[in-house]
């Protein structure tokens, strides 16, 4: 796992947003080519993060946002008594670190679930560029707003849905995000454990496991460890809209 020392030119280390294939998903959405070229100065460095490593921890001083170039992350919050809650799973093109702006300290942990690469966006620079590039400013506001709306969705999950509804919503959400990234909507590998899914959904890992089995028995999906195939998208959606009780 030791990196061989290979001489690299500076441009190779810098990440050019204008060249990135995620530019339609990530911060640069909606920028003109000229604006995009300006933005290339914004991303200072790329950073490799190995599976299990943190990008930041709760309490760390907030300095930068992180755009995921490749890989998969979770964010979680720990209570003093040892309980913890996964607050989200993030994939390529999504932005990590928004929680830190308010207090200038991060309030959660961001951990790579697989070997990943992130673009480091110094926040002070983002604010400066935002003042010059209206489209960037506006898009950044949208990113934050969408995070708030996503959180409301999680509150709905946790507040009023039953176990199987939560898991169905979770799978459909993953499916939709994989689709947006050009992957199969119906077949993917989970990067997180049953325990992490449970923590996110407010359930115990046994309940998650049972719900997976139940879905499989009903012909909605197939599960082999972390490999999921969705057989009946409509069936999963119906689970969400049907009120039982």
Partner DNA sequence: CGTGAGCCTTGATCTGCGTCAACGTGAACT
Partner DNA sequence: AGTTCACGTTGACGCAGATCAAGGCTCACG
Residue closest to 26 by CA, chosen among 90, 80, 87, 74: 90
Structure tokens given for 184? 């199969």
Supply the minimum distance, in Å, between the C-beta of residue 58 and its own copies. 10
DSSP string, 31-82: --HHHHHHHTTT--EEEEE-TT-EEE-TTPBP-EEEEEEESEEEEEEE-TTS
Cα separation of 180 and 116, whole Å? 19
Nearer to DNA, 173 or 195 (CB): 195
Q: Does 245 bind DNA (CB under 7 A)?
A: yes
Cα separation of 186 and 99, whole Å? 31
Site string for DNA, 88-127 (x = CB under 7 A): ----------------------------------------
DSSP string, 149-210: HHHHHHHHHHHH--HHHHHHHHHHHHHHHHHHTTS-SSEEE--S-HHHHHHHHT--HHHHHH
Q: Does 53 bind its own copies (CB under 8 A)?
A: no
How many amino acids of this chain bind DNA (CB under 7 A)? 23
In this chain, which of 134, 179, 189, 213 binds its own copies, going by CB under 8 A?
A: 134
Q: Does 145 bind its own copies (CB under 8 A)?
A: yes
**Stretches 59-67, 118-126, 135-143, 196-204: which one binds DNA (CB under 7 A)?**
196-204
Kindly list the residues in this chain that would bind its own copies in the complex (CB under 8 A): 77, 79-85, 87, 98-103, 107-108, 127, 130-132, 134, 137-138, 141-149, 151-152, 154-156, 158-160, 199-202, 241-243
Kindly list the residues in this chain that would bind DNA in the complex (CB under 7 A): 162-164, 190, 193-195, 202-210, 212-213, 223-226, 245
């Amino acid at each position: 796992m030791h990196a061989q020392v290979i001489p690299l030119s500076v441009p190779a280390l810098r990440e050019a947003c204008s060249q990135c294939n995620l530019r339609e998903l990530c911060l640069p959405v909606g920028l003109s080519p000229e604006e995009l070229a300006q933005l290339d100065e914004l991303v200072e460095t790329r950073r490799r993060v190995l599976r299990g490593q943190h990008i930041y921890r709760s309490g760390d001083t907030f300095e930068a946002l992180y755009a995921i170039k490749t890989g998969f992350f979770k964010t979680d919050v720990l209570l003093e008594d040892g309980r913890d809650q996964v607050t989200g799973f993030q994939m390529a093109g999504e932005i990590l670190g928004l929680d830190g702006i308010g207090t200038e300290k991060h309030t959660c942990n961001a951990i790579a679930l697989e070997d990943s690469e992130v673009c480091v966006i110094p926040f002070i620079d983002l604010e400066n560029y935002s003042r010059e590039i209206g489209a960037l400013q506006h898009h950044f506001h949208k990113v934050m707003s969408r995070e708030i709306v996503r959180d409301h969705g999680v509150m709905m999950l946790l507040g009023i849905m039953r176990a199987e509804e939560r898991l169905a919503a979770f799978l459909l959400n993953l499916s939709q995000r994989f689709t947006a990234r050009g992957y199969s909507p119906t077949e993917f590998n989970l990067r997180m454990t049953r325990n992490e899914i449970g923590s996110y959904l407010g359930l115990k890992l046994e309940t998650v496991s049972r719900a997976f089995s139940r879905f499989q028995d009903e012909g909605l999906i197939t599960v082999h460890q972390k490999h999921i195939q969705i057989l009946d998208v409509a069936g999963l959606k119906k689970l969400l809209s049907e009120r039982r009780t």
